[in-house]
Structure 1
Amino acid sequence: MQTAISRGLLSVLVSIPLVSACSGGSSTSASTSGASQCSGASCGIQGAPTSAAIQPLCPTEASIAQNTYLGGAGSGEIVSLKIDPTSMSYTLKWLESPIPLTAGQVTPTRAGATITGAVTHRTDLPSAEQNRCAFVLQPGNGTASDGSAYATTGSFNASNPPTIFVGYGVAGGGIPGAEVQYPGILGLFSVPDRKFDFYPFIGFADVDTNLADLKGTYNGLVYHLQPSDNYRAVGTNTTETFDASGNCTSSAGSCTTTGGTWAAASAGSYFTSSNPPRIVGGATLGSGAHANMVLARFNGALVPIVVRTGYANPGTLTVDDESGIAMLAAAGNIASGTLDGGFVGADSNFKYTATLIQGTSGKFVDPPTSTAESTFTLDYPSSNQGLLSVQDSAGNAGFAIATGFSPSSTVGGLFAILLQGTENGGIAASSSIVGQTTSSTPYFGIGAFAGAH
């Protein structure tokens, strides 16, 4: 049975886009993209109809050029991204960032920097339409907030480049990485040299600026990394309730995403709060970190994407450099079969990964090669309230959440997974700590629905 499911899901992957072909969230979504390919076990071994491969998987070039995608990155950054497929160019602005402009320093950061550069299409994906909707962000150049020149040439790796997969209302994948290293303050808080090929990113064309709309209860998966603690990573789940003013409460006693009331950010259409909680637990000196939230609308659902933006300043002897990302999904029961299909995005391994689900069975797959990697199972209790238990084939436990799905519709939404183990061969060698074995636990990823629901 498992073999048949695996062959069927791998066959489906060949005909699915890299970001939601069925998703809403912008006025450019076409009716042709919502056609159902198959449902659950009806896909069988043969997978979805091959005719699905010629359906539009992303908007026209002119429509893509009209959108600006605002979102968060696993680096603790808030990013605004615009891609113009007509001129084959992009503009990217870092609105919030803890990432230094230069290795060996911690200030200034990329916050306020804007770069432009060329985009090229991927050529290694299973179909021409998938390649049309996938954009490699070639090295960009621009100006930092202090007026200095900034370029991403030094971190660009042609073998694992920053790539954005565009769908209807959503853009996900990787934004330009950076080299991070710092000798420390007074012999403490040193940061080992590490060059990141890219940072995982999820952005949206439609965002909500009315904080009162956040009101409700959400499940969340959180992933943070602390460079000054030898890049120690911690992932956890949370359930939080927000009132109409953005105040957060939790049955666990305190919230994990924010430690203060959300307020409109001055730099753009997102929200910010002070004194965000820490989950890594490494040493700090002073404060200065903050949380930032993009309140996205996607497929009829409200999707809060929260990043913790760390802070370090040698001049004030301040170090609170824990940074990371969280996805929240409104609490509500998820039935087995609701998530059937494929999801694609970037993950904490600094790789691009497809997640394929059929009922209680899941599998991670390399998108260009369709090679099956780690497997996992999902548990759907009768009243799960949207937080699903997950276990991989090695026995490592975790959780999954999802949002933007409707039982009466063939369109899909977003899926996030957290596993307390090593998946898919671990972290890409080119994004590991120089000269060290880099821990790949926990594993975290966010993917957009890619079809065959």
Structure 2
Amino acid sequence: MSYAIIRGLVLAILTACLVVGCGGGNASNPAAINTPQCSGSSCPTQGPPPQGTVASLCPATADIGNTTYLGGAGSGEVVSLNINATAMTYTLSWLESPIPLATGNVTPTRVGVKITGSVAHPPTGALPTAEQIRCAFILEPGTGSGPNGTYNTTADFNTANPPTIFIGQGVAGGGIPGATIQFAGILGLGAVDNRHFDFYPFLGFASTTTDITKLPGTYNGLLYHLTPSGNSGNYATVGTNTIETFDATGTCTSTQSTTGFSPNTGGCLTTGNPYTVNANGYLDSTEAPQIIAQTIPTGKSGVAHMILGQLNGATIPLVVRTGNVNTNLLSLAVDDESGIAMLAPATALASGGFDGGYVGADSNFNYTATLINGATGTFVNPATSSAEDGFALTYGVAASPGLVNVTATTTSGGSATGYAIAAGGLYAILIQGEENNGVASTSAISGTAETPYFGVGANVNK
């Protein structure tokens, strides 16, 4: 299919599937998902996700609530989300979180909190078709409680840029409720300037597994981590790639040279100790590596969590690093580095191997679309349907099969390099430069790092 046709098809359905809303396969004939929807004690007993009709972008309205999506957010959170599209309500549970319940604090966090609220479809005309509007859900302010008291999202809800979830066949994504972060520091160290986030980018799977025998193999990984206390309290950000091999015990090794601040033996950047299964349907690894220098170096107390997504016959590990801060001077622990990574099997990708249109969220706290056509990629602004920054793809990187070199034209007109990976209808990209006009103004403060650029998207057409 020609680039022009691909671009036309994507622009026609961009807003329907923003942030992994359509899943893999062809947009008019979504690929079947035949594996169990989720695992862990929090998931109800249920069968395979409903497939809907050929023209459906998401399951039938009455069936959407049968699926609980388990996934991760760029905030370092693991989230379980259910949307009842008939009652127009949602239930969201934070299973892991470094995000404080209240501005001005670092603890307690949102871990263990469950909120409920109403959902609303975008207004008529906001998306091109009724089907697209049917599959999109605004998460209106929710209330609930956890082990440390009550919580609601009213104060951080921005009606102009609300957290919105787009449901597809096998995946759900978009924005989960954001927060306002600020901390005065400890003994004058580790202060974080006041910064509001309308939402945190999220990706969840209808089907996950805790069967660790599906993990062994070699993977390419792209990581994006943030440290609030870094960069003089303006958030330090780092993105990097990693090549890692997992065995049947969940142990990771790597022959890739260690760089930055990771002291891990073997060079693995996504995990520390071997992964173990927890009761919530994913895997945990303690002693998670740090790739950003800590303002108060008290060691590694953050934990890595791996969600084994099952999509279109592929196992796609999604890794969330959850930072940890304990301000008790008798047990002081400051490891506020959090972030997300996608792994893809190290299987060779030829030119054209993942051609198509993709939609997703990025490190700019925006939604974006990406068109891939052989050696060419283009970011597209979904609001204006206009092309933004472009990049070139070079296949057959000697470092690892499946790792694709990226050379980009930045927003400022310069050039930058990076990598792309793909599996199961998802793709991730990391560029060591500013892209698509930088971080959204509503999620930025003076001094906010505009680079690196990281994004994940799902295929919406071939």
In the superposition, the TM-score normalised over structure 2's length comes to 0.87
Taking only the aligned residue pairs, the percentage that are identical comes to 54
SS in 1 for 2:87: coil
- The alignment status of 1:328 with 2:338, answered yes or no, reads no
- The alignment status of 1:139 with 2:141, answered yes or no, reads yes
What CA deviation, in whole Å up to 9, does each residue of 1:254-297 have, x standing for no partner?
1000011101124x001101100011123332442111111111
What CA deviation, in whole Å up to 9, does each residue of 1:155-198 have, x standing for no partner?
11122211111111100111111011100001101111111111
- The total of aligned residue pairs comes to 416
Deviation for aligned residue 1:337: 1.5
Task: Return the letter of the residue paired with 1:163.
Answer: T
Cα distance in 2 between the residues matched to 1:70 and 1:382:
33
Deviation for aligned residue 1:338: 2.2
Question: Which residue is equivalent to 2:392?
Answer: 377
Deviation for aligned residue 1:358: 1.4
Answer yes or no: is the 8 Å Cα contact 2:422–2:428 preserved in 1. Answer: yes
Answer yes or no: is the 8 Å Cα contact 1:121–1:134 preserved in 2. Answer: yes
In the superposition, relative to structure 1, how do residues 428 and 6 fare at CA in structure 2: closer, same or farther (>3 Å)? Answer: farther
Cα distance in 2 between the residues matched to 1:186 and 1:288:
20
From 5, 12, 15, the equivalent of 1:14 is 12
SS in 2 for 1:108: coil
- The alignment status of 1:263 with 2:290, answered yes or no, reads no
Cα distance in 2 between the residues matched to 1:68 and 1:352:
23
Q: Alpha carbon RMSD of aligned pairs, Å?
A: 1.7
Cα distance in 1 between the residues matched to 2:122 and 2:11:
16
Question: Which residue is equivalent to 1:28?
Answer: 49
Deviation for aligned residue 1:126: 2.8
Question: Which residue is equivalent to 2:291?
Answer: 279
- The alignment status of 1:442 with 2:452, answered yes or no, reads yes
Task: Return the letter of the residue paired with 1:310.
Answer: G
Deviation for aligned residue 1:12: 3.2
Question: Which residue is equivalent to 2:76?
Answer: 76
Deviation for aligned residue 1:335: 1.6
Answer yes or no: is the 8 Å Cα contact 1:173–1:202 preserved in 2. Answer: yes
Q: Which runs of 5+ in 2 are unaligned?
A: 35-47, 257-265
From 393, 401, 407, the equivalent of 1:391 is 407
Task: Return the letter of the residue paired with 2:370.
Answer: T
From 231, 238, 256, the equivalent of 1:234 is 238
In the superposition, relative to structure 1, how do residues 32 and 87 fare at CA in structure 2: closer, same or farther (>3 Å)? Answer: closer
Deviation for aligned residue 1:382: 7.9
In the superposition, the TM-score normalised over structure 1's length comes to 0.88
Q: Which runs of 5+ in 1 are unaligned?
A: 34-54, 405-412
- Deviating 4+ runs (over 4 angstroms): none
Deviation for aligned residue 1:112: 0.2
From 340, 357, 378, the equivalent of 1:363 is 378
Answer yes or no: is the 8 Å Cα contact 1:274–1:289 preserved in 2. Answer: yes
Cα distance in 2 between the residues matched to 1:121 and 1:31:
19
Alignment of 1:147-166 (within 5 A): 148-166=149-167
Question: Which residue is equivalent to 1:308?
Answer: 321
Cα distance in 2 between the residues matched to 1:370 and 1:89:
31
Question: Which residue is equivalent to 1:348?
Answer: 363
From 427, 430, 435, the equivalent of 2:442 is 430
What CA deviation, in whole Å up to 9, does each residue of 1:354-394 have, x standing for no partner?
11111111111122331222111111228761110011123
Answer yes or no: is the 8 Å Cα contact 1:271–1:294 preserved in 2. Answer: yes
Deviates more, 1:300-309 or 1:357-366: 357-366
Cα distance in 1 between the residues matched to 2:78 and 2:345:
22
Task: Return the letter of the residue paired with 1:395.
Answer: S
SS in 1 for 2:200: strand
SS in 2 for 1:373: strand
Answer yes or no: is the 8 Å Cα contact 1:23–1:449 preserved in 2. Answer: no
